[in-house]
């Protein structure tokens, strides 16, 4: 494949559907070079026409998108104690395995033993996937919670207990196939950008409020990762320097105040002194059984204690969100995760109010703050977009690292 063809595929992955003239502007290729690349890719089944776009006076121009290719990507999600694998076409649609049994490929281990168990478990999962899958896949895309560098090295993952684990390299060695690794929130941001509520946005800010808190920023279909891959560690924004200690070594991080464990912990502590709260009753009298579901029921019942805990935490989250919006100036902010699902309308109202109050006047009128559309699916599908980005973007460009050069072959 020529480098112009790869550029066409890359930009259709990031921003498709696109016309030939748009592809010319984005790839920097001449009209002839783009025409030749589009003809060749269409003939080989990589791309297909998808409607037309009115052009200035002349005939409407054909728009192009990626076509289903038959190339399979094994997408792996890893959480503490669990990993699962599903097959996707390179165009982002899920495909049945050759066995067609619909049975999920997954593997589990004791969550608190993740540091020792996760790599052997992943190797077992991939071995089983290859033996069940009818033919050789094109590669792997793995979603992991933590700080991942662009070459697939897990620099730090506190949920999995990993540090400096060359996960991408291991996968390539175990299977002989290309592999990419991405942070799970970044992958979800790419998923919403490519197929979900962020489709067509130039600058998407994605907030994930769950067991931890993270952020993904996608500009023109490309993920912003920072210089080491750790951009978006929103959970470690200091919001209260005297606050509770965090695993990162600092105090009063946002994740210690507004994540799922933080909310559950705070409500459980306060309910000891508040005999009136329905939370005690909802947990069957056992305060160790307070979880996000019981908090949700107490919140829906208008319980004053739980309402106060949630509103105080979300007010902090709102101020941080407004500051991030001031910093990055996105077109749209999308919110997802278990804590958002606790009461989506209340969360969105809180964030919108905070951005109206603390944001700059320039975008108060135009910024859109909404929930994600794909939920958990965003992460799975976004990993396919990440594979394409590395596969087509890393190849054909000089000066990349040896790892990326290998990835491209
Ligand atoms: Zn922290």
DSSP string, 226-288: TTTS-TT-GGG-BS-TTS-B-TTS-BSBTHHHHSHHHHHHHHHHHHTT-TT-HHHHHTTT-GG
- CB burial of 114-147 (b: ≥16 within 10 Å; e: otherwise) equals beebbbebbbebbeebeeebeeebbbbbbbbbbb
What is the token pair recorded at 140?
């792997």
CA of 247 to the centre of ligand 1 (A): 6
Rounded to a whole number of angstroms, the distance between the first and last alpha carbons of the chain is 12
Per-residue DSSP letter, 94: B
pLDDT of residue 400: 40
CA of 95 to the centre of ligand 1 (A): 39
Strands 203-209 and 332-336, sheet pairing? parallel
pLDDT of residue 283: 85
CA of 234 to the centre of ligand 1 (A): 9
Q: Does 172 lie in the same domain as 122?
A: yes
Provide the CATH number for the domain around residue 147: 3.30.420.40
Q: Which domain holds residue 277?
A: 197-371
8 A C-beta contact, residue 317 and residue 333: no
Q: Does 134 lie in the same domain as 14?
A: no
CA of 127 to the centre of ligand 1 (A): 36
- To the nearest 10 degrees (0 to 180), the angle between helices 304-328 and 344-358 is 50
Residue with tokens 């912003």: 224
Provide the CATH number for the domain around residue 45: 1.10.10.10
> Structure pTM?
0.92
CA of 209 to the centre of ligand 1 (A): 15
Q: Does 110 lie in the same domain as 15?
A: no
Q: Does 272 lie in the same domain as 236?
A: yes
CA of 90 to the centre of ligand 1 (A): 36
CA of 335 to the centre of ligand 1 (A): 20
Q: Does 224 lie in the same domain as 183?
A: no
CA of 5 to the centre of ligand 1 (A): 43
The string of DSSP letters for 27-67 reads H---HHHHHHHHHHHHHTTSEEEEEEE--SSSSPEEEEEEP
CA of 185 to the centre of ligand 1 (A): 17
CA-CA distance, 65 to 44, in Å (whole number)?
14
pLDDT of residue 311: 96
**Beta-carbon-side half-sphere exposure of residue 83 (alpha carbons within 13 Å):** 26
CA of 213 to the centre of ligand 1 (A): 10
pLDDT of residue 31: 95
Q: Does 346 lie in the same domain as 332?
A: yes
Q: Does 49 lie in the same domain as 122?
A: no
CA of 1 to the centre of ligand 1 (A): 45
Helix (H/G/I), strand (E/B), else coil: 160: coil
CA of 18 to the centre of ligand 1 (A): 41
CA of 298 to the centre of ligand 1 (A): 28
Give the Cα-Cα-Cα angle 204, 208, 209 (nearest 5 degrees): 145
CA of 171 to the centre of ligand 1 (A): 30
Q: Does 243 lie in the same domain as 360?
A: yes
Q: Does 391 lie in the same domain as 328?
A: no
CB atoms within 10 A of CB 76: 27
Q: Does 290 lie in the same domain as 229?
A: yes
CA-CA distance, 61 to 20, in Å (whole number)?
8
CA of 249 to the centre of ligand 1 (A): 6
The last residue of one of the domains, among 66, 96, 117, is 66
CA-CA distance, 248 to 256, in Å (whole number)?
11
Q: Does 299 lie in the same domain as 284?
A: yes
- Distances in Å between the Cα of 11 and the Cα atoms of 8, 326, 349 are 5, 28, 35
CA of 112 to the centre of ligand 1 (A): 19
Q: Does 364 lie in the same domain as 272?
A: yes
CB atoms within 10 A of CB 282: 21
CA of 230 to the centre of ligand 1 (A): 13
CA of 392 to the centre of ligand 1 (A): 35
CB atoms within 10 A of CB 233: 21
Q: What is the mean pLDDT of each run of 10 residues along the chain (409 residues)?
A: 94 94 95 96 95 79 93 95 95 75 80 93 95 88 93 91 95 95 96 95 96 95 87 90 90 95 93 84 85 95 95 96 94 97 97 93 87 95 96 59 45
CA of 181 to the centre of ligand 1 (A): 23
CA of 53 to the centre of ligand 1 (A): 48
Number of domains in the chain: 3
CA of 94 to the centre of ligand 1 (A): 36
Helix (H/G/I), strand (E/B), else coil: 181: strand
CA of 394 to the centre of ligand 1 (A): 32
């Amino acid at each position: 494949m020529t480098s112009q063809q790869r550029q066409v595929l890359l930009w259709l992955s990031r921003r498709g559907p696109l016309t030939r003239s748009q592809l010319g502007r984005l790839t920097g290729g001449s009209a002839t070079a783009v025409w030749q690349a589009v003809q060749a890719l269409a003939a080989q089944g990589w791309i297909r026409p998808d409607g037309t776009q009115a052009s200035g006076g002349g005939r409407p121009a054909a728009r192009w998108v990626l076509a289903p290719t038959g190339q399979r990507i094994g997408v792996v999600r890893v959480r503490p104690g669990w990993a699962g694998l599903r097959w996707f076409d390179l165009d982002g649609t899920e495909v049945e395995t050759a066995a067609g049994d619909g049975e999920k490929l997954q593997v589990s281990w004791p969550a608190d033993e993740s540091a020792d168990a996760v790599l052997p478990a992943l190797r077992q999962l991939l071995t089983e996937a290859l033996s069940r899958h009818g033919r050789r896949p094109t590669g792997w895309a793995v979603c992991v919670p933590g700080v991942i560098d662009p070459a697939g090295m897990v620099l730090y993952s506190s949920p999995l207990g990993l540090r400096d684990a060359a996960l991408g390299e291991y996968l390539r060695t175990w299977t002989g196939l290309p592999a990419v690794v991405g942070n799970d929130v970044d992958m979800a941001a790419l998923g919403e950008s490519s197929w979900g509520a962020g489709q067509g946005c130039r600058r998407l800010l994605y907030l994930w409020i769950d067991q931890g808190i993270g952020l993904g920023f996608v500009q023109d279909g490309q993920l912003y990762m920072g210089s080491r891959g750790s951009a978006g560690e929103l959970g470690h924004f200091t919001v209260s320097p005297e606050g509770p200690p965090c695993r990162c070594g600092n105090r009063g991080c946002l994740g210690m105040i507004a994540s799922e464990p933080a909310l559950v912990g705070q409500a459980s502590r306060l309910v000891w002194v508040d005999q009136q709260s329905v939370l005690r009753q909802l947990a069957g009298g056992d305060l160790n059984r307070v979880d996000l579901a019981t908090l949700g029921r107490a919140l829906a019942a208008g319980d004053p204690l739980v309402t106060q805990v949630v509103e105080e935490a979300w007010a902090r989250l709102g101020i941080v969100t407004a500051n991030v919006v001031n910093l990055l100036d996105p077109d749209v902010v999308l919110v997802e995760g278990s804590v958002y699902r606790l009461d989506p309308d209340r969360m969105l109202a809180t964030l919108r109010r905070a951005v109206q109050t603390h944001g700059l006047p320039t975008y108060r009128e135009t910024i859109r703050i909404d929930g994600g559309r794909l939920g958990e699916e965003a992460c799975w599908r976004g990993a396919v977009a990440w594979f394409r980005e590395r596969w087509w973007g890393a190849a054909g460009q000089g000066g990349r690292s040896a790892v990326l050069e290998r990835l491209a072959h």
